Amino acid sequence: MKMIRWFKWSRLALALTLVAGFATAGFAEEKKAAVKPYPLDTCIVSDEKLGADPAMKTFVFTHEGQEIKLCCKSCQKNFLKAPAKYLKKLETANKPDKK
Stated as kind and residue range, the H or E segment containing 68 is strand 66-70
pLDDT of residue 92: 82
The pLDDT value given to residue 31: 56
Confidence at residue 2, expressed as pLDDT on a 0 to 100 scale: 67
The per-residue pLDDT string of the chain (99 residues; one tens digit each, 9 = 90 and over) reads 666 776 677 777 777 777 777 766 665 555 556 899 999 999 999 999 999 888 889 999 999 999 999 999 999 999 999 999 999 988 887 776 655
Residue-range domain boundaries for the chain: 1-34, 35-99
What is the C-alpha to C-alpha distance for residues 89 and 94, in angstroms, rounded to an integer?
9
Give yes or no for a contact between 69 and 62, defined as CB atoms under 8 angstroms apart: no
Question: Which pLDDT does position 98 carry in this prediction?
Answer: 56
Nearest-angstrom CA–CA distance, 71 and 68: 10
Q: Where are the alpha helices (DSSP H) in the chain?
A: 2-33, 75-81, 83-94
Helix (H, G, I), strand (E, B) or coil at 59: strand
pTM for this one? 0.62
What's residue 12's pLDDT? 75
